[in-house]
A = this chain, B = another copy of it.
Amino acid sequence: MANRPPASGSARVERIPVAVLGATGSVGQRFVSLLADHPWFEPAALTASERSAGRPYGEAVRWVQTEPLPPAAAGMELGPTSPARTAGCPLVFSALDAAVAGPAERAFRDAGHTVVSNARSHRMERLVPLVVPEVNGDHLGLVAEQRRTCGGAGAIVTNPNCSTIGLALALKPLVDAFGVEQAHVVTLQAVSGAGLPGLPGLRILDNVIPFIPDEEEKIEAETQKILGRLEPGGVADHGIRISAQCTRVPVVDGHMLCVSLRLSRRARLPEVREALESFSAEPQALGLPSAPSRPVLLLDAADAPQPRLHRDLERGMAAVVGRLRPCPLFDVKFVVLSHNTLRGAAAGALLVGEQLVARGLLPGRVAPTADRP
């Protein structure tokens, strides 16, 4: 188990100031919304493109969340996406587009910030952890090595692709209990996964698009790294073989994956069930604020999970599994649903940030409190 941060009765009063890069986009808005009530983090800087910098957030943003725009954020002045104005924020959450995230996030790291990024730009770099906190929080051990190599207090940590996260969460207990050698995955992904503007309404209404650029490759590569073993100097691939087919469906939020697995050792269905249902990990043990009480939820209804009904269970932080049964070709198959803009993006990144703090990896900062009511 990780080092438990020293709890302190008075710590709660002082939240850690954080910055959100790319705060006006759809993922950036989720960060702003979630940070409004966050017990550990306080949004102290919001950045946007040059065009919007200097304007109040509430004026520059085209708010598309169902929660109202937090009044405190509405009045904040947007800064440019550069480290010049975020000196007081040791922790930075990046909702930048992959098109600009690469150099921008490096600049923040060079300036001493610890960046938790939702973009794909740095995910596959050797010293950059690609983390699902319940699955491979130990990969955060790369942060120290990254700091030594880069020669500063900064670091980049990444959150996986939104469809990979649900898969990794559902695989982890089975990898631990039985080993998993092959995964056949067909995804039915929500339109919010493409951000804004994303997919035109005219293309997705009454339609399915059986192709999402680069998505199948991401699932295949990222899962390898997430399930891989931490070694000095990087992560050794897990060795699982994956075949992914990705589709986009007319659903607002919630990625569904139809998964068939070849296990390393024979397992009876009740054992598989038990492994999934009993799964709990460091975020649950530490009571991290964004952690779900159960990271994998198993539903028994014949027609579950469904995006509209189940994406918000556990505040959108669980991998919701259903239709668990034997597979005539592999060993076991099931359907898994996860909320792509909560667990799969902003809230998932916050959980990574919390884990960084809880593991004492944010220099000079401790978790305000590790207890939850």
Give residues in A with beta carbon < 8 Å to B: 26, 64-66, 68, 182, 184, 186, 188, 191-192, 194-211, 213, 220, 241-243, 245, 247, 249-252, 256, 258, 260, 302-310, 312-313, 322-323, 327-330, 333, 335
Q: Which residues on the B side are within 8 Å of A303 (C-beta)? A: 209-211
Q: Closest CB-CB distance, A306 to chain B, in whole Å?
A: 5
> Is A252 a contact partner of B206 (Cβ separation < 8 A)?
yes
Can you list the 8 inter-chain pairs with the closest CB atoms, starting with the nearest? A186-B186, A211-B303, A201-B204, A207-B308, A197-B200, A243-B329, A191-B201, A206-B206
**Contact (Cβ within 8 A) A247 B208:** no
Q: Is the CB of A323 within 8 A of B250?
A: no
The one of B210, B220, B249 in contact with A335, judged by C-beta atoms closer than 8 angstroms, is B210
Count of chain copies = 4
Question: In the complex, which residues of chain B have a beta carbon less than 8 angstroms from the beta carbon of A249?
Answer: 188, 208, 249-250
Measured between beta carbons, the chain B residues less than 8 angstroms from A258 are 186, 210, 245, 247
A250/B251 in contact, CB under 8 A? yes
- Give which listed residue, B66, B68, B209, B333, contacts A245 with CB less than 8 A: B333
Q: What is the CA–CA distance of A188 and B256 in the complex, to the nearest angstrom?
A: 12
In the complex, which residue of chain B has the Cβ closest to the Cβ of A197? Answer: B200
Contacts of A210 in B (CB 8 A): 256, 258, 303-306, 322-323, 335
Interchain Cβ contacts under 8 Å between A and B, 12 examples? A66-B308, A192-B202, A201-B204, A205-B251, A208-B251, A208-B306, A213-B302, A242-B329, A243-B333, A245-B260, A245-B333, A249-B250
A202 and B64 form a contact (CB under 8 A): yes
Residues of B contacting A200 in the complex (Cβ-Cβ under 8 angstroms): 191, 196-201
* A64 x B188 contact (CB < 8 A): no
A370 to chain B, nearest CB (A): 26
Most-contacted residue by chain B among A210, A211, A241, A309 (CB, 10 A): A210
**Are the C-beta atoms of A66 and B312 separated by less than 8 Å?**
yes
Extra 10 A-B pairs, beta carbons < 8 Å, given A205-B251, A245-B258: A184-B260, A191-B205, A199-B200, A201-B201, A201-B250, A207-B251, A209-B303, A211-B302, A211-B323, A243-B330
Contact of A309 with B66 in the complex, beta carbons under 8 Å = yes
Chain B neighbourhood of A310, CB < 8 A: 66
For A250, the chain B residues whose CB sits under 8 A away are 201, 205-206, 249-251
- Are B313 and A68 neighbours in the complex by a CB distance under 8 Å? yes
Please determine whether B252 and A308 come into contact, CB atoms closer than 8 angstroms: yes
Bound complex: CA A188 to CA B305 (Å): 15
Task: Collect the chain B residues with CB atoms within 8 Å of residue A242's CB.
Answer: 328-329
**B-side contacts of A306, CB under 8 Å:** 207-210
CB–CB A323/B207 < 8 A: no
Report Cα–Cα, A6/B26, bound state, in Å.
Answer: 48
Distance of A369 from chain B, by nearest CB (Å): 23
A47 CA to B202 CA, complexed, in Å = 23
Q: Please give, as numbers and ranges, the residues of chain B lying within 8 Å of A252 by CB-CB distance.
A: 202, 205-206, 308
Task: Decide if A208 touches B184 in the complex (CB within 8 Å).
Answer: no
Interface centre among A199, A201, A310, A335 (most CB of B within 10 A): A201
Q: How many Å from the CB of A333 to the closest CB on chain B?
A: 7
- The interface residues of chain B lying within 8 Å CB-to-CB of A208 are 188, 249, 251, 256, 306-307
**Which residue of chain B lies nearest to A67 when distances are taken between CB atoms in the complex?**
B312
Q: Which residue of B lies closest to A183 (CB)?
A: B329
Residues of B with C-beta under 8 A to A68: 313
Give complex CA distance A205, B254 in Å. 13
| Contact (Cβ within 8 A) A323 B192 | no
